[in-house]
Amino acid sequence: MNKPGFLRSSARAVGLRRPGNTVAAAVLALCGALFMTSAAWADNAKPKYLRDLERPHNAGDWTLQCDSSRLCQIIGVVKPPRSGNSDKRLRAVVMIRRGIAPGAAPALRIAFIDSIGFLGGDVSTETWRLYSRGLAKMPPPLRLGLGPIEHDGGYSAEPAQTRLLLGALQRWPGSVISDRGRTIAQMPRGNLARLLRKMDRLQHPSKPQLTAEEEATWLKQYHHVVQRSAPADMAVPDLVLLSCDTRTYVNEPRGVRFRNSYYLWTASCPEGTKVFLQQQDADPVKFDLRDEQGRIRPHDAARITDGSLLEMSLPRKGNAMCGRYLTFGFSGETFVMIEDRRYDRCRMVPHTFWPVVWSPTSWRYGDALPL
């Protein structure tokens, strides 16, 4: 359930607007086609309840982040060591997610990263245990009960162990993951119990927080169908090759072709990755993200994935290790947002573990690779 909003931009840029905790559609007129994005910027008109859902809530190393459909996530990770610190131990990224049904059981995932955010790799966790720190009498350690490594490098805890681990993380002042006396990873600290209570209040308020009119205005469903791409079948345009501000030629230009002869180009520059949209026999058009005031929201990295999706990083205060990470798919006429991740704490955490604050009700690929 997501709330719409529309902002039309010039032919130079894709508009970006956040009218709530949902992603707003913005339209770019380009060569007779429409390229639509969904986006995420605050709007003072949204109801207080949606503002509370959107706002991150911190407690020590833990952060609670919900979305407008009342799906809530908690992420916890300690700060990376300061530059020059010789401590090479891993840090655990603890992710807690719970559905909105009353009494829904939380799911727990853990990933292991080093001081600069690199994943620890596939390791055997069978003998790893959670040990308490800061208690006068140490309780018995807990088995982690992690499954096999998953596509993003994280591990899911067994449901039976999740309850025990969450209980310990709420009660214990601190904890570490160790393997037969050898410390493996530092665990987050803070008042996790307070955030879990806050999650309960946000997901299940004592009385309705939105009127019927507000729900009709702000909560919508989106079902996106996007295309796959093929490698570009034309040379990289000069406008793309010469687009860097401080370099003659770009690094690693890449292009793909969608059906109806639409092209998407990326060009790596010192100031960030430039993105261009093009229709065959027309000039490329630079893809910028703008808020409702028309101001460009600078992005840093951008890439075309193997799945024909466009990913863009929007740094927070110039720091690309926090902020927003947006994913778009091409519908044949528009670019639509299919995921918006947000994490405001710059702790060198890979964006794949950031909380998802918006995604459409559903999305899928609607065609085979073009011939």
Q: Note the pLDDT of residue 87.
A: 55
Ranges 77-86, 137-146, 160-169, 187-196: which has the least confidence: 77-86
Q: How far apart are CA 269 and CA 243, in angstroms?
A: 8
Confidence of residue 119 (pLDDT cuts 50, 70, 90): confident
Q: What local confidence, expressed as pLDDT, does residue 68 receive?
A: 78
Q: Could you give the percent of the chain with pLDDT greater than 90?
A: 57
pLDDT of residue 5: 29
Q: Is residue 341 part of a domain?
A: yes
Whether 1 is covered by a domain: the verdict is no
Looking at the structure, tell me whether residues 133 and 68 fall in a common domain. Answer: yes
Q: Per residue in 217-243, pLDDT tens?
A: 888 889 999 999 999 999 999 999 999
* 242 and 270 assigned to the same domain: yes
Co-location of 57 and 142 in the same domain: yes
Q: Are 36 and 54 found together in one domain?
A: no
323 has a pLDDT exceeding 80: yes
What does the pLDDT average to over 336-357? 93
Answer yes or no: is 259 within a domain: yes
Residue 3 pLDDT exceeds 70: no
Domain count along the chain: 2
pLDDT digits (tens, 9 = 90+) for 24-65: 232 233 322 233 333 334 455 789 999 888 899 999 999 999
Q: What sign results for the dihedral spanned by CA atoms 317, 320, 321, 327?
A: positive
**Residue 287: inside a domain:** yes
Q: Do 162 and 226 share a domain, yes or no?
A: no
The answer on 154 and 97 residing in a single domain is yes
Same structural domain, 167 and 258: no
Domain boundary among 203, 238, 256: 203
Picking from 203, 232, 264, the residue at the C-terminal end of a domain is: 203
pLDDT at 11 over 90: no
CB-hemisphere CA count at 13 Å for 134?
11
Please give the full DSSP string across 52-64, using - where no structure is assigned: HHHS-EEETTEEE
Q: Is residue 173 part of a domain?
A: yes
pTM, 2 dp? 0.84
**Residue 335 falls inside a structural domain:** yes
DSSP per-residue string spanning 210-271: S-HHHHHHH-B--EEEE---EE-SSPPPHHHHT--SSSSS-EEEEEEEEGGGEEEEEEEETT
How far is CA 228 from each of CA 168, 195, 267, 307, rounded to the nearest angstrom?
Answer: 45, 40, 20, 7
Structural domain contains residue 210 = no
Task: Decide the pairing of beta strands 107-113 and 155-156.
Answer: antiparallel
The CATH number of whichever domain residue 161 belongs to comes to 2.60.40
Between 131-140, 196-205, 256-265, 284-293, the lowest mean confidence (pLDDT) is in 284-293
259 or 351: which leads in pLDDT = 351
Whether 272 and 260 map to the same domain: the answer is yes
Q: Of the candidates 203, 237, 271, which is a domain's last residue?
A: 203
Average pLDDT, the chain: 83
**DSSP characters for 284-321?**
-EE--EE-TTS-B-----EEE-TTS-EEEEEEETTEEE
Whether residue 90 is found in the same domain as residue 71: yes
Whether 61 and 197 share a structural domain:
yes
Same domain, 245 and 296: yes
Residues 269, 137, single domain; the answer is: no
When computed from its CA atoms, the radius of gyration of the chain, rounded to whole angstroms, is 22
Position 23 in a domain: yes
Range of the domain at 272: 6-45+221-365
